[in-house]
A and B are shown apart, each in its own frame.
Chain A
Amino acid sequence: MDNHHNCWHCGTPDAGSIFCRYCNSLQAPVPNYFEFFGMPLKLSVDLARLQKQFYSLSGLLHPDRYTRRSEQEKRYSLEASSILNDAYRVLRDPIQRAEYVLKEAGFDIGEQRSKDVPPELLEEVFELNMALDELRMGDDEVLPQLDESRKKFLDILVEMDAGLEQQFQKHDAQEGDEARRAVLAEIRLTLNRRRYIKNLVNEVDKLLTARNA
């Protein structure tokens, strides 16, 4: 946490993260989304509180309020408003939030190895792809099977999201960076698997929509 800066305007030390506690001038926005919202770095987020905070900050930071203020504050309000919108979009979505925390912790969320998908799921993925292929070639008999698979994968997604929620709580309960990193590594695995399944369901939906169109 680096809120301990001096105010750019009046020089008050420990000025505060948004406005200087002494002269009330707008400070340079902190780039970290959690700090920006004044929230602890936790994966479980109180969405109602987040939304309230978003509305209140939107008003306080809006560039229209700074048209008669210094150039510095005009610039800060633009920057802060932009960070605010990004931060809100990311933090209110559990998946994007987790990806953000992973990225900030130095995890490469793009890097993946084939081992990440468990073999028992791979079999089903392969079967589903076979069915998709047959449907593309005009074999309607696979439709019930496809529908069945789709449901199964949607169930898996629901299961994964519940598991993710537990992993979030486990992360938040850890003491110390190392313990937290270990949980983050587990979360990354879940996210990779989730993305895989999600892509697959999207593909089925795309094909079925195109057929029905």
Chain B
Amino acid sequence: MAYSDKVLDHYNNPRNVGNLDKKDPNVGTGLVGAPECGDVMKLQIKVNPETGVIEDAKFKTFGCGSAIASSSLATEMLKGKTVDEALQIKNTLIVNELSLPPVKIHCSVLAEDAIKAAITDYKAKSATPATAQTA
């Protein structure tokens, strides 16, 4: 099966691969997996607590080209958005942008799940005072 140019571009030059400090209270980490294909995706966001804007996003994905491209694109989309705006990102947006074929739609679903998981993690953390976390 041929990948679209955009998928290949993200696959060959993935944006924002890496790691953010998981212990940082402003960092939200989402870790999701798809048993079917064995793909695992970690997506992290760093949020400015004053403005609620996502200042940085990183990912590391083990999986097929489409999964890597989906998460790479997701981190690009996330930067500069507020947390609430980021929650509006739908997998269909990723599908359209990357022209994913039907068999690869689950990769974009995984990316959407990862975004939601990262935001959930961030919200849970920021709802708990930092002092209570260490206690």
Contacts and interface: CB of A to CB of B under 8 A. Distances in A.
Are A and B part of the same complex? yes
Given A114-B32, A133-B62, A196-B33, A122 B38 contact: no
Interface string A114-151: 10110100110110011001000000000000000000
B119 to A, nearest CB: 15
A192 interface: yes
B31 A123 contact: yes
Contacts of B36: 110, 112
B110 A114 contact: yes
B89 interface: no
Contacts of A152: none
Nearest to B19: A130
Contacts of A129: 40, 62
B38 A200 contact: yes
B123 to A, nearest CB: 16
A193 interface: yes
Please report whether the interface of chain B is mostly helix, strand, loop or mixed according to DSSP: strand
Contacts of A122: 31-33, 40
A114 B34 contact: yes
B102 interface: no
Interface string B19-41: 00000000000011111101010
B60 to A, nearest CB: 8
A123 B34 CA distance: 13
A199 B34 contact: no
Nearest to B38: A199
A195 interface: yes
Contact of A117 (B35, B42, B62, B109): B35
Nearest to A189: B35
Nearest to A111: B36
Nearest to A121: B33
A192 B35 contact: yes
- Interface centre among B35, B60, B62, B113, by most A CB within 10 Å? B35
12 contacts: A112-B35, A114-B35, A114-B110, A116-B35, A117-B33, A122-B31, A122-B40, A123-B31, A129-B40, A130-B60, A196-B33, A200-B38
Given A117-B35, A129-B62, 20 more contacts: A112-B35, A112-B36, A114-B34, A114-B109, A116-B35, A119-B31, A122-B40, A123-B31, A126-B31, A126-B40, A126-B62, A129-B40, A130-B60, A133-B62, A192-B35, A193-B35, A195-B35, A196-B35, A199-B38, A203-B38
Q: 9 smallest A-B Cβ distances: which pairs?
A: A196-B35, A129-B62, A112-B36, A199-B38, A114-B32, A117-B33, A192-B35, A112-B35, A114-B113
